[in-house]
Amino acid sequence: MEWTVRYYLHQAEIWEDRGIQAEFARDLGSTAYAHRMIATWRGIAQAANARFRSVNQSYKAFVIS
């Protein structure tokens, strides 16, 4: 369960890096898309985190910002 949430957060980090590169290149479309993907992956991580916490009492939930 932890691996799954970590994977989703890692994907968000990848998109953060891509967003930074797009901002540096002044590519507004790619920057916007990267921000959308960051929000998507973080949202998936938050949902999984909450579901795992509700079905497994020994699961140590992540703090996702």
Task: Render pLDDT for 36-65 as a digit per residue (tens, 0 to 9).
Answer: 999 999 999 999 999 999 999 888 888 887
In a domain, 63, yes or no: no
Count Cβ atoms within 10 A of the Cβ of residue 15 and give its class: 0-12 exposed, 13-18 middle, 19 or more buried.
buried
Q: How many domains does the chain have?
A: 1
Identify whether 32 is part of a domain. Answer: yes
Structure confidence at residue 58 (pLDDT):
87
22 found inside a domain: yes
Angle, helices 28-55/2-24, rounded to nearest 10 degrees: 170
The pTM (predicted TM-score) of the whole model is: 0.88
CB 50, CB 34: distance < 8 Å: no
60 in any annotated domain: no
Range of the domain at 34: 2-55
* Confidence bin at 32 (pLDDT 50/70/90): very high
Establish if 64 belongs to a structural domain: no
65 found inside a domain = no
User: Does 13 map to a domain?
Assistant: yes
51 falls within a domain: yes
